[in-house]
Amino acid sequence: MAVHAHPDDESSKGAATMAKYVAEGVDVLVVTCTGGERGSVLNPKLDRPDVWANIAEIRRGEMDAARAILGIEQAWLGFVDSGLPEGDPLPPLPEGCFALQDVDVAAGPLVRLMREFRPHVVTTYDEEGGYPHPDHIMCHKISVAAFDAAGDAERYPELGAPWQPLKLYYDIGFSKGKILALHEAVIATGAESPYAEWLARWEDRPDKGPRITTRVPCAEYFPVRDDALRAHATQVDPDGFWFQVPMELQQRAWPTEDFELVRSTVDSPTPESDLFAGVRGTAHAR
């Protein structure tokens, strides 16, 4: 089970890993906390009034397309996108939005899904949300709360029989090592690196590379990831940043997607190369 804040997050974070496990016969469920109703239209070709007027419906259609490409199952938690506050000072969050929900209450629907789907492994964002969007931070909070509660018969007893997932991971999408490896690989071809400005600003950002415990080899599924990402056409410019580095170079320079193991009830020494390390052959039956 991969828990994400908005439609498109599943395709930009851990998508190749999910596609790999789907190909191996693993059941994969993406849980999308909000409908992305307040997301920006980031593809200039679709920045039109008719798109903005129907953004919620369009984003659901994009999610359907991405789900089919990745071969996953997907469920909506039904919360309302909080939007990304901008300005100084920041404006208040919209009333009723996801980020303003009580964590214990908002974790309830996710507990229900964990008990119904019965995942062995759960992935989500770290305490900063991967980046500090209020919905990403809230996604982290309810994911951890639900992971800890799903197996406890005394908590949320009305939401189904207890089920304890065995491992919880945070997605570490970008580390300094990864960005530097991609940057140097591009420079070696004589091309201009799209990561130069990013690296120049890195001193202001913590490097999460030391937190990585698990590197999943999944380079052959990078094209599936990109196809799923392009399915979110309002959110991703197909001629933009994410597609500037040639696929073969990406696959060679950094062939893994990376995670931090933060909870485990099984014996799985790190570093790992498999989210199911310690689970295969020992997991309680679904």
pLDDT digits (tens, 9 = 90+) for 114-129: 999 999 999 999 999 9
Q: Is the pLDDT of residue 176 over 70?
A: yes
3-state DSSP helix/strand/coil percent for the chain, to nearest 5? 40, 15, 45
CATH code of residue 52: 3.40.50.10320
In a domain, 284, yes or no: no
List the structure tokens of 10. 């599943």
Q: Residue 246: which domain range?
A: 2-174+208-264
Residues 232, 235, 238, 244: is their CA dihedral positive or negative?
A: negative
What's the pLDDT at 283?
61
pLDDT digits (tens, 9 = 90+) for 143-170: 999 999 999 999 999 999 999 999 999 9
Give CA separation, 128 vs 7, 113, 247, in Å: 19, 24, 29
In a domain, 138, yes or no: yes
Structural domain total, the chain: 1
List the structure tokens of 115. 């008990």
Q: pLDDT confidence of 286, banded at 50, 70, 90? A: low
Smallest Cα–Cα separation from 222: which of 11, 40, 4, 28?
Answer: 11
- Compute the distance between CA of residue 109 and CA of residue 111 in angstroms, rounded to an integer: 5
One-letter identity of residue 186: V
- How confident is the model over 80-105, as a mean pLDDT? 94
Q: pLDDT confidence of 40, banded at 50, 70, 90? A: confident
In a domain, 280, yes or no: no
Q: State the chain's mean pLDDT as an integer.
A: 95
In a domain, 274, yes or no: no
- Do residues 65 and 20 lie in contact, with contact meaning Cβ atoms separated by under 8 Å? no
In a domain, 187, yes or no: no
Residue 271: other Cβ atoms inside 10 A: 10
In a domain, 32, yes or no: yes
Q: Is the pLDDT of residue 239 over 90?
A: no
| pTM to 2 decimal places | 0.96
In a domain, 281, yes or no: no
**Long-range CB contacts for residues 224-230, cutoff 8 Å, separation at least 24:** 224/15, 224/16, 224/19, 224/69, 224/70, 225/11, 225/15, 225/16, 225/19, 227/69, 228/10, 228/11, 228/15, 228/19, 228/66, 228/69, 228/70, 229/8, 229/11, 229/12, 229/15, 229/66
In a domain, 16, yes or no: yes
